Amino acid sequence: MIDHLIKSLETCPIVKKGEYNYFVHPITDGIPKIDPVVLREVAVGMIHFLDLRDVQYIVAAEAMAIPIGTAISLMTDIPVNIIRKRSYGLPGEQEVMQQTGYSKGKMFINGLSPGDRVVIVDDVISTGGTINGILHTLNEMGVEVAGICFAIKKGTPDISMPYHYLVAIEVEDTVKIVDRQL
């Protein structure tokens, strides 16, 4: 079910940034191109894991969760809500503090209300910093998170609620698949 995703990960380039080996992949970086076959595999795989009953929104964080969330939205007719990296100043906008293994910043949630039931999709999880910030803010807003799914898990993230992923990887000179949930 995710064979094209796995093959594309195993053959993707690795770029060294200081001491960090960074894998460059269409699902996580949007380059060199997002193959619709791989994107479809990711979307269908996530739909397999997510409980979409009574869900009002698919929540996707900017940037690379946007194509995933959009693909799932098109397949399920559930609207996608994008958590943005800049403020729009709309009424009810909520700020998310985001801290990853290599950066920190703010993100902004618009268009969600107390009692909304959502699922969260994202391209990759490594430390859990982004998702934990989102979960904290959604909880404060009174938004129910029915499920979380990542395309790729890297490392041992610390997340405050259960989640699914399609494939787990290690990155050295190449990407090694260490687990798959499909």
Q: Does residue 87 lie within any of the structural domains? A: yes
Q: Does residue 115 lie within any of the structural domains? A: yes
Q: Does residue 44 lie within any of the structural domains? A: yes
**CA–CA–CA angle 110, 115, 118 (5° rounding):** 65
Segments forming the whole domain that contains residue 157: 33-170
Distance between CA atoms of 56 and 86, rounded to whole angstroms?
23
pLDDT tens for the 182 residues of the chain, in order: 999 999 999 999 999 988 889 999 999 999 999 999 999 999 999 999 999 999 999 999 999 999 999 999 999 999 999 999 999 999 999 999 987 766 789 999 999 999 999 999 999 999 999 999 999 999 999 999 999 999 999 999 999 899 999 999 999 999 999 999 99
Partners of 117 in beta bridges: 144
Q: Does residue 21 lie within any of the structural domains? A: no
Per-residue model confidence (pLDDT) at position 101: 66
Partners of 144 in beta bridges: 117
Q: Does residue 10 lie within any of the structural domains? A: no
Q: Report the number of distinct structural domains present in the chain.
A: 1
- CATH number, domain containing residue 95: 3.40.50.2020
3-state secondary structure 28-75: HHCCCCCCHHHHHHHHHHHHHHCCCCCCCEEEEECCCHHHHHHHHHHH
Rounded to two decimals, the pTM is 0.96
Q: Does residue 52 lie within any of the structural domains? A: yes
Q: Does residue 11 lie within any of the structural domains? A: no
Q: Does residue 136 lie within any of the structural domains? A: yes
